[in-house]
């Protein structure tokens, strides 16, 4: 046979099955277009130069991998559906005289046509929307708009096309093997496979319960944010496995229980719906579980990224009580020479005057911040902890040390009157404060605390510590007041000996607030003047740190803006993947139910009773994934809060609000999609 013959048959088959093939082509084109946009952003040097490119490469690489994985799953799912619907047609070709190799050639021609159509449409879609995407990401980062309407690079066009060609080729080989190893009679009856009542798979049922319970347990019991970062993906994997197992085995178990309940089952509204679901749950379960997982992905990605971006100002205010923090010191061998507050004050006042800024508040602090492992009322450095056992991230604690003199000077500025007590510490005494805690024993105060091998008596429990940390609450944070500089030096030397070049430095920190919020340009000019004056006054060398709200705001906007863009794009991909699965499932359900309900009508069931039965069945089947996604999101809430703390978001109420709004909006969209696709179902059934 001539190759044109196969192409002619393939075009005719696609034309007759546009209801099946057009959504598949559009879905693959959308996925390819999104992958093109991510790959192009990843390689667009103009965006990297305009935005600094600090987070673009990492986030876009991750997003490209996720889209590739989703595309692999979705294309194989759609291909399996199409093969199931078309097997009887291919079997008819075989019965009428075409050999299997000829049928496979027809399948190859169909695959080539749909693949080329998807590739061309997807690239055009990507090029058309790339400019809008680049403008959006620039807006999210508060950066200048990149000039030019489009950006074309041959590698950014070839790579996504090759990826989807490979996926289509894999789908073709899968379909070819199913045709090659089946008898014509099997092909003719292919779409009716799965009509036998499934058995309860007890192993899968137990595995699903254990996996889902384990995933939920990790989410609900993980206390430390750093520990949550390590366990999050394990919890996600367990929930995914549990969801698939329970949809396959759990739904069958529940439906069989309903069938055994005579009062419920033997009603004309319940029996057809339960029986229909039970007989087809084997092939429906995987699709429904996929919808639930994708819906959960949409809810989690959109709610977290929107709350992060919306809470940028809260994040800055909570992590930077002062607009800028400045510290400086010089080193002479092992000695650390602190730059006096008088010198620092003169420098910052001159720099502020040069840049038209007015200093309204100044906080002077001597402090030392060290990372420890708090175990059995002993603060251990990492090397010390590793000598006696493992370094457990859940016990990681950051300690801020100040002297009693510093405490007395600052307590009137930041402490409440009832806690502004005189300490009167001896050399072997300390005052203790839990500034921020992720542990269950939030209010616990040790009677003694061992630091650098020396045991100190905890004389006072301070409710309010006079120093705020300029970083998020990702570990336990405690404040410790020691008697004098001599005790402070002992602690400093001990941690320096333990950590070596990674040791923390003990220096004065100056916190400043200005009369108005400082712009990034004015702040950068102020910082440059401070650095120049310090270098001029200390020509032999000076170490200094300037930690400013305006610089951190720029970095946070880069990160949160890229993260929000990634969340929007991946959320969109998950959403239309969900829509596609629902659409094909409605078609599948329609064809499988048509003959069944026609028999019911012939047996005397009224049309409105048939519709009521159909409605009952659809509600049970298609709203189960939505309820499951909502439960998954609620159960993931505790561990997501810990992860957001790593990203410096501590506004829980904002995250709760964004999650509720996202859930409501997604619910409305899901219902709308269900109602639209249900029309296709009803048309097929009737």
SS (H, E, C) 255-279: HHHHHHCHHHHCCCCCHHHHHHHHH
Which residue is listed with tokens 């789908």? 171
H or E stretch including 615?
A: helix 607-622
Lowest mean pLDDT among 1-10, 348-357, 457-466: 1-10
CA distance 621 to 277: 8
Q: How far is CA 70 from the centre of its chain?
A: 15
| Confidence band for 414, pLDDT divided at 50, 70 and 90 | very low
Q: Does the predicted model carry a pTM greater than 0.85?
A: no
Contacts of 194 (CB under 8 A, 6+ apart): 279, 280, 282, 283
Phi, psi of 429, rounded to the nearest 5 degrees: -125, 150
C-alpha 299: how far from chain center:
10
pLDDT tens profile 149-179: 456 778 788 888 999 999 989 988 888 887 7
For every residue of 275-313, which 3-state class applies, written as one string? Answer: HHHHHHHHHHHHHHHHHHHHHHHHHHHHHHHHHHHHCHH
CA distance 621 to 160: 35
Looking at residue 564, its pLDDT comes to 84
Domain ranges of the chain: 1-193, 256-321+548-686, 322-547
Which pLDDT score is estimated for 416? 40
pLDDT of residue 417: 38
Which of the residue ranges 203-217, 412-426, 525-539 would you say has the lowest mean pLDDT?
412-426
User: Which whole number is the average pLDDT over 530-534?
Assistant: 88
Q: Of the given ranges (168-177, 180-189, 614-623), which has the lowest mean pLDDT?
A: 180-189
By three-state DSSP, how is residue 451 classified?
A: strand
- What pLDDT score does 56 carry? 73
d(CA 556, CA 318) in angstroms, rounded, equals 13
Length of the chain: 686
Q: How large a percentage of the chain has pLDDT more than 90? A: 6
The Cα–Cα gap between 642 and 298 comes to 19
Enumerate residues 6+ apart whose C-beta is below 8 A from 333.
none
SS3 label, residue 327: strand
Measured CA to CA, the distance from residue 507 to residue 365 in angstroms comes to 8
Report CA Rg, the chain. Answer: 32
Least confidently predicted of 81-90, 91-100, 283-292, 526-535 = 91-100
According to the per-residue pLDDT averaged within each range, which of 49-53, 516-520, 679-683 is highest? 516-520
Find the DSSP H helices in 448-548.
485-499, 520-537
> Alpha-carbon distance 520 to 144, whole Å?
14
Residue linked to tokens 């005719």: 12
How does DSSP classify residue 500?
A: G
Quick one: tokens of 397?
A: 């604690």
Q: What does the pLDDT read at residue 635? A: 92
Tell me the mean pLDDT in the region 529-547.
Answer: 82
Q: Give CA–CA dist 446/457, Å, rounded.
A: 9
The count of C-alpha atoms lying within 13 angstroms of the C-alpha of 200, restricted to the half-sphere facing its C-beta, is: 13
Q: Which helix (H) or strand (E) element contains residue 448?
A: strand 448-451
The residue among 397, 373, 370 whose CA lies nearest residue 387 is 373
Q: Is the pLDDT of residue 575 over 50?
A: yes
CA distance 37 to 159: 12
Look-up of token digits 């016990």 = 395
Closest alpha carbon to 63 in 14, 116, 127, 133: 133
Q: d(Cα 327, Cα 545) in Å, to the nearest integer? A: 5
Per residue in 300-340, pLDDT (tens digit) is 988 988 888 888 877 777 777 788 888 777 666 555 566 77
Q: Angle, to 10 degrees, between the axis of helix 100-140 and the axis of helix 549-602?
A: 140
pLDDT for the residue numbered 210 = 94
Beta-sheet pairing, 448-451 with 378-380: parallel
């Amino acid at each position: 046979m001539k190759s044109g013959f196969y192409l002619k048959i393939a075009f005719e088959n696609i034309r007759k099955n546009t209801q099946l093939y057009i959504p598949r082509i559009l879905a693959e084109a959308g996925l390819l277009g999104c992958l093109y946009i991510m790959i192009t952003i990843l390689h667009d040097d103009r965006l990297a130069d305009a935005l600094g490119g600090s987070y673009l490469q990492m986030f876009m690489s991750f997003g490209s991998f996720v889209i590739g994985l989703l595309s692999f799953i979705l294309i194989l799912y759609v291909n399996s559906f199409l093969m199931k619907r078309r097997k009887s047609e291919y079997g008819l070709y075989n019965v009428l005289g075409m050999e299997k190799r000829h049928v496979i050639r027809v399948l190859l021609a169909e695959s080539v046509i749909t693949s080329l159509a998807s590739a061309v449409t997807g690239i055009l879609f990507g090029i058309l929307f790339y400019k809008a995407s680049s403008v959006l990401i620039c807006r999210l980062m508060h950066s200048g708009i990149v000039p030019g309407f489009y950006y074309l690079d041959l590698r950014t066009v070839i790579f996504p096309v090759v990826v989807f060609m490979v996926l289509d080729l894999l789908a073709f080989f899968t379909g070819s093997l199913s045709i090659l190893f089946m008898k014509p009679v099997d092909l003719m009856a292919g779409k009716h496979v799965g009509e036998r009542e499934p058995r309860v798979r007890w192993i899968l049922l137990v595995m699903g319960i254990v996996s889902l319970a384990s995933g939920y347990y990790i989410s609900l019991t993980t206390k430390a944010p750093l520990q949550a970062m390590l366990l999050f993906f394990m919890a996600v994997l367990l929930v995914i496995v549990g969801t698939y197992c329970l949809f396959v085995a759990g739904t069958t178990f529940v439906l069989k229980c309903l069938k055994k309940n005579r009062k419920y089952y033997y009603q004309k509204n319940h029996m057809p719906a339960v029986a229909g679901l039970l007989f087809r749950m084997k092939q429906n379960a995987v699709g429904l579980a996929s919808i639930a997982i994708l819906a959960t992905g949409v809810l989690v990605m959109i709610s977290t990224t929107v709350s992060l971006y919306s809470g940028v100002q809260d994040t800055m205010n909570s992590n930077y009580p002062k607009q800028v923090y400045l510290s400086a010191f010089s080193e002479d061998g092992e000695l650390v020479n602190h730059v006096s507050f008088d010198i620092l004050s003169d420098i910052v006042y001159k720099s502020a005057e040069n840049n038209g800024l007015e200093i309204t508040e100044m906080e002077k602090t001597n402090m030392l911040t060290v990372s420890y492992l708090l175990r059995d009322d002993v603060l251990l450095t990492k090397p010390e902890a590793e000598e006696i056992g493992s370094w457990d991230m859940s016990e990681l604690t950051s300690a801020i040390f100040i002297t009693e003199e510093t405490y007395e000077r600052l307590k009137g500025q930041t402490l409440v009157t009832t806690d502004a007590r005189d300490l009167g510490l001896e050399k072997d005494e300390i005052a203790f404060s839990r500034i921020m805690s992720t542990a269950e024993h939030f209010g616990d105060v040790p009677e003694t605390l061992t630091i650098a091998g020396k045991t100190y008596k905890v004389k006072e429990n301070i409710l309010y510590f006079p120093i705020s940390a300029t970083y998020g609450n990702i570990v336990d944070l405690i404040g410790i007041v020691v008697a004098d500089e001599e005790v402070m030096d002992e602690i400093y030397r001990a941690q320096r000996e333990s950590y070596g070049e990674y040791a923390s430095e003990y220096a004065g920190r100056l916190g400043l607030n200005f009369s108005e919020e400082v712009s990034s340009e004015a702040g950068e000019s102020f910082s440059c003047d401070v650095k120049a004056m310090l270098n001029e006054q200390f020509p032999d060398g000076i170490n200094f740190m300037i930690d400013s709200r305006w610089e951190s705001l720029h970095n946070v906007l880069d990160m949160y803006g890229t993260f929000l863009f990634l969340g929007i794009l991946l959320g969109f991909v998950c959403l239309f993947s969900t829509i596609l699965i629902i659409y094909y499932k409605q078609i599948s359900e329609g064809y499988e139910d048509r003959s069944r309900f026609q028999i019911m009508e012939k047996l005397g069931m009224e049309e409105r009773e048939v519709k009521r039965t159909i409605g009952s069945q659809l509600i049970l089947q298609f709203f189960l994934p939505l309820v499951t996604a909502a439960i998954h999101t609620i159960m993931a809430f505790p561990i997501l809060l810990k992860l957001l703390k790593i990203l410096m978001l501590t506004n829980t109420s904002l995250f709760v609000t964004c999650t509720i709004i996202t859930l409501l909006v997604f619910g409305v969209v899901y219902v709308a999609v269900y109602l639209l696709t249900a029309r296709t179902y009803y048309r097929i059934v009737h």
